[in-house]
């Protein structure tokens, strides 16, 4: 369907009668809208009065996802006493007003549910709401999904029921594609969407990463509130989780999404359990038998663990995770004693999906991902890890000193994620910093600091720019 703002039928919005019995709950699950002209709101005391909204505008308020306080060009609707307000699309007197598109979504169960998309003008943001009370009858939760393209790249956050963690989703659709889609869906009954399953048992973003995201995407903060931010992963991309889980089903713009989450635990606690399963109780020793057993129990992944000797004569635990049918290798160096030896607890991801191996290193706490290349092949690393499993490895003689200082970090991250999308999971919203061999051209006269990493086959010192 092609039309412009002048010739298209005006989209409509379902809202509750905000002056009826002091109850603003919409039977379809409304969203509270704040109006800038408060005087008109206070003067309209009659439940049947139509309030003219030519000079009003609507802003999203995420403090309460279940209440409406709407004004506008309202007219009575015969279904359940609800009102429908026409959007003022193309209204020159209300350039800051939000556009809203409403349609019904089939679930393959005989009765469609209502969905809507709120589009603040000139912000590059689309907010998809799935708030129909009938969703619970079909096993779905009410939810809000924000598609934020305000910075050029997409950030998609899903907030089920307005509480708990927010889930970040990788989105391949562009802003114009979604906009064209919701315009075509407006006022229609849409066919059933694709069914997608993702894991939500990963580690939440650090406070620093979450602060960075909320600073650059304040509208995402309005939707997510103070909850944790968890990056969704494809099934099998994360280490197996043997605890109790449950499924959360939500409707996003183009899919029925099922998210697997831990039961009765915050996602951060679940992540700690994933990392601690290679230990034997509180002794801090590796449970080698458990590692071998896990390898035999699942064909999806194998974990190899050993003690890695250090030049100081000490040793620490190191593990390699290999997923069957994948070209990704994850090296965990997260022994609690590493800090005593001046080494950062870290996770290194080896991505062999492209012709040459790409390696990213990151600390488990905060900071960017550091990028380097890899001389070993996928098979060489897997075979060597299998040999090291359950042994004590001698200190490695391989050490590098790699400085970094580059300018356009955000653009580099976007390019890397296009060629190696699997690296989006370990790095999340962290900057991607290329490292280089020390040369005269890489000299830096400012203050630096050193970060020590244990990778699969060596110890790397990153000479990082302070501040």
Query: What gap in Å lies between CA 395 and CA 343, rounded to an integer?
Result: 14
Average pLDDT over residues 194-205: 85
State the pLDDT at residue 101: 95
Residues with Cβ < 8 Å from 59, sequence gap 6 or more?
A: 33, 34, 36, 98, 120
Least confident of 125-129, 226-230, 232-236, 275-279: 275-279
**Are the C-beta atoms of residues 8 and 86 closer than 8 Å to each other?**
no
457, pLDDT greater than 70: yes
Query: What gap in Å lies between CA 296 and CA 319, rounded to an integer?
Result: 17
Between 284 and 86, the more confident residue is: 86
pLDDT digits (tens, 9 = 90+) for 230-254: 888 888 777 777 788 889 999 999 9
Query: What gap in Å lies between CA 38 and CA 376, rounded to an integer?
Result: 66
Burial, 336: exposed, middle or buried (Cβ in 10 Å; 0-12, 13-18, 19+)? Answer: exposed
**Mean of pLDDT over the chain:** 70
State the pLDDT at residue 113: 93
Boundaries of every domain in the chain = 12-263, 277-465
pLDDT digits (tens, 9 = 90+) for 127-163: 999 999 889 888 899 999 999 988 777 789 999 985 6
For residue 186, what pLDDT band results from cuts at 50, 70 and 90?
A: very high
285, pLDDT greater than 50: no
pLDDT digits (tens, 9 = 90+) for 378-436: 889 999 999 999 898 887 755 565 655 444 444 456 567 777 777 777 776 667 777 76
């Amino acid at each position: 369907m092609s039309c412009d703002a002048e010739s298209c039928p005006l989209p409509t919005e379902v809202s509750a009668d905000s002056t009826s019995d002091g109850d603003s709950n919409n039977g379809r699950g409304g969203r509270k809208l704040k109006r800038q002209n408060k005087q008109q709101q206070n003067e309209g005391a009659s439940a049947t009065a139509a309030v003219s909204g030519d000079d009003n505008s609507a802003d999203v308020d995420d403090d309460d996802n279940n209440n409406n306080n709407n004004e506008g060009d309202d007219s009575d609707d015969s279904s359940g006493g609800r009102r429908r307000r026409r959007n003022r699309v193309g209204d020159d007197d209300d350039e800051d007003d939000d556009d809203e598109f409403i349609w019904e979504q089939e679930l393959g169960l005989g009765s469609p549910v209502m969905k809507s998309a709120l589009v603040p003008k000139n912000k590059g943001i689309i907010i998809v709401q799935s708030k129909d009370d009938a969703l619970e009858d079909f096993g779905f939760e009410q939810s809000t999904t924000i598609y934020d393209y305000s910075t050029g790249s997409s950030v998609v956050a899903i907030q089920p029921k307005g509480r708990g963690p927010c889930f970040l989703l990788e989105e391949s659709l562009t802003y114009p594609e979604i906009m064209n889609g919701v315009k075509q869906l407006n006022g229609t009954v849409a066919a059933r969407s694709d069914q997608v399953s993702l894991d939500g048992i990963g580690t939440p973003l650090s406070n620093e990463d979450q602060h960075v995201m909320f600073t650059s995407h304040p509208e995402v903060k309005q939707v997510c509130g103070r909850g944790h931010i968890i990056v969704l992963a494809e099934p099998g991309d994360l280490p197996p989780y043997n605890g109790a889980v449950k499924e959360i089903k939500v409707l996003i713009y183009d899919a029925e999404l099922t998210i697997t989450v831990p039961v009765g635990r915050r996602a951060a606690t679940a992540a700690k359990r994933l990392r601690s399963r290679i230990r034997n109780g509180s002794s801090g020793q590796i449970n080698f038998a458990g590692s071998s057993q896990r390898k035999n129990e699942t064909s999806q992944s194998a974990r190899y663990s050993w003690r890695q000797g250090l030049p100081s004569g000490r040793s620490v635990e190191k593990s390699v995770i290999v997923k069957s049918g994948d070209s990704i290798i994850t090296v965990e160096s997260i022994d609690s004693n590493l800090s005593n030896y001046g080494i950062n607890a870290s996770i290194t991801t080896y991505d062999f999906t492209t012709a040459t191996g790409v390696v990213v290193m990151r600390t488990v706490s905060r900071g960017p991902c550091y990028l380097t290349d890899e001389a070993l092949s996928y098979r060489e690393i897997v075979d060597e890890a299998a040999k090291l499993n359950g042994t004590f490895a001698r200190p490695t003689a391989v050490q590098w000193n790699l400085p970094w200082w580059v300018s356009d970090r955000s653009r580099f991250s976007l390019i890397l994620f296009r060629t190696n999308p699997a690296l989006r999971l370990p790095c999340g919203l962290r900057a991607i910093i290329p490292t280089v061999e020390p040369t005269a051209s890489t000299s830096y006269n400012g203050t630096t600091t050193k970060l020590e990493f244990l990778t699969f086959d060596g110890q790397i010192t990153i000479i990082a720019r302070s501040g």
